Structure 1
């Protein structure tokens, strides 16, 4: 039977991958640089593959190293969750988190499941509201943590994930070909709405806002019914939607960033733990990213594949 992998070696490996440096990783794991180098030599011998390649002064992962990184993070995460499940002194309390429903369907299941397994004594309350509302809740002390759409001009949140923002229409209708484009948007202060309107006006495209709602479900319903075109982050795409591109007369939009906002409500240890879980979850998740030329789409395999490619304009979301 093959000997198991060493978790200490994997922890050091992750530190090197994150910092790009054996020296900085040595500082993080509190070892000498020579000890770190020895650990990595032993890990490469155990795996039987080269894990690093030099790029100037930076140590970059090889393709095999990238593969191992995904497994290493999962193994260390499971190790932490296992220890927490049997720790009588584990975190205990109540924490309040908010997120727009654009992100909730895709991201919350993984975040909540992982956090609850690691911290079974922490009660988690979730509020789904628009980013502007969540920012206000954070300021008033009504939330401990919020997953929001990051706005560079306003700051206040720490970016944890980048998402493409896409023009979307119904796969079964041609509403996007109308001379005056019917649109479905979030409220007037929605960042994506402002960006989309600016792009349409710059192109001289006539449009009319038919539906306004902070609910992602309402916007998706308007799109899927063939009543309007909208803009959504890649993570919010649903079966039956079509991604529009330049061939359809829609220029690419800037990516958006998802950010974390922390409240000033005490419970620092629990907030830090949940923030770490969120960052790790979003880092490991890959959103629906590529639809085969046939138009078919296997949501689960694409969602779990960290090497998933981005959606291409004209492709259709045929199923989860």
Structure 2
């Protein structure tokens, strides 16, 4: 297996994985279905493993296919970055991006690092605000693009990632066992706060809001110090947290949906490029690492994501 892999075959392979169909993939890569089938036969011969198995009318990846998919996405991404580095006509200008601070620590290093390497002529400025504030800034033309949480007050049509919303407490304290659950949550307009309080009410659990803040840092500090229980998306978990489940008296919460809001600032090509880059980056970011025996695997928005089980304690990483 010394000969290099064919990037065209890998691109077709990714298209089949994303669409679940050789026919739909053929439309995506502008080839005939027979050409797509031939490409995949050659790729399987090159890898020496079967990559697909039938699942009803769709083509499901085998275990070997799942392994290859991660490498294929990285190889195609690196190819695009390499070409962009030598493209004299590449994009340039300024782009203003907004995101809640819940996502900033986990997502921004990957998003900004990759984009800066492949688009050195673009200046990025980033602000961290709650979703509602970001939506208003986009509406006013003060932001080009925002990564936000789907909620009742912000209708996001471009969902790019889904994550479980989890009950969390301190791994070193038992505040979740108090008869009246103390909560650390966002302001009343926060969708996660609404989900938490409505779920507790349906379960008949008494609660009191102990801390209210837009700042993820404040909420996380309240949890880690053992003062309160909170709800966080999987990406915002920190070492020293414990995930609570039904066995602890905490009913499941709806998933957190993360989407993109685009501004109307006259930089359509640039905004589209940034949005596409963010979507690709989030596809390749998994949950925070932990003991491999403590995870179930679940498909989130087309990507494989590690999901913590209730009762699992977040270690350091």
Q: Is the TM value for this pair above 0.5?
A: yes
CA distance in 2 between counterparts of 1:237 and 1:210 reads 20
CA distance in 1 between counterparts of 2:240 and 2:187 reads 24
Q: 1:140 to 1:74 in 2, by over 3 A?
A: same
Question: What's 2:229 paired with?
Answer: 229
Residues 53-64 of structure 1: matches in 2 within 5 Å?
53-64=53-64
Question: What's 2:76 paired with?
Answer: 76
CA distance in 1 between counterparts of 2:14 and 2:304 reads 18
TM-score relative to the length of structure 1: 0.92
Most deviating of 147-156 and 219-228:
147-156
Conserved? CA contact 2:152–2:191, under 8 Å: no
CA distance in 1 between counterparts of 2:261 and 2:193 reads 22
Q: Is the aligned partner of 1:269 residue 2:269? A: yes
Conserved? CA contact 1:289–1:311, under 8 Å: no
Q: Which runs of 5+ in 1 are unaligned?
A: 298-305
Which ranges of 4 or more aligned residues in structure 1 deviate by more than 3 Å?
289-293, 306-309
TM-score relative to the length of structure 2: 0.93
Q: Which runs of 5+ in 2 are unaligned?
A: 296-302
Shift of 1:54: 2.2
Any idea what SS the aligned residue of 1:228 has? coil
Conserved? CA contact 1:94–1:124, under 8 Å: yes
CA distance in 2 between counterparts of 1:177 and 1:37 reads 57
Q: Is the aligned partner of 1:313 residue 2:301? A: no
CA distance in 2 between counterparts of 1:26 and 1:179 reads 58
Q: Is the aligned partner of 1:111 residue 2:118? A: no
Conserved? CA contact 2:138–2:146, under 8 Å: yes
Residues 1-320 of structure 1: matches in 2 within 5 Å?
2-151=2-151, 154-288=154-288, 291=291, 309-320=306-317
Conserved? CA contact 2:240–2:316, under 8 Å: yes
Number of aligned residues? 310
Conserved? CA contact 2:95–2:271, under 8 Å: yes
CA distance in 2 between counterparts of 1:25 and 1:276 reads 19
Shift of 1:56: 3.1
CA distance in 1 between counterparts of 2:292 and 2:95 reads 41
Conserved? CA contact 1:171–1:242, under 8 Å: yes
CA distance in 2 between counterparts of 1:257 and 1:132 reads 15
Shift of 1:225: 1.1
Most deviating of 276-285 and 198-207:
198-207
Any idea what SS the aligned residue of 1:286 has? coil
Conserved? CA contact 1:165–1:254, under 8 Å: yes
Q: 1:76 to 1:148 in 2, by over 3 A?
A: same
Q: 1:199 to 1:145 in 2, by over 3 A?
A: same
The Cα offsets for residues 173-198 of structure 1, whole Å up to 9 and x where unpaired, read as 11111122211110110001011111
- The CA RMSD over aligned residues, in Å, is 1.9
The Cα offsets for residues 254-290 of structure 1, whole Å up to 9 and x where unpaired, read as 1111111111112111111111111111111111265
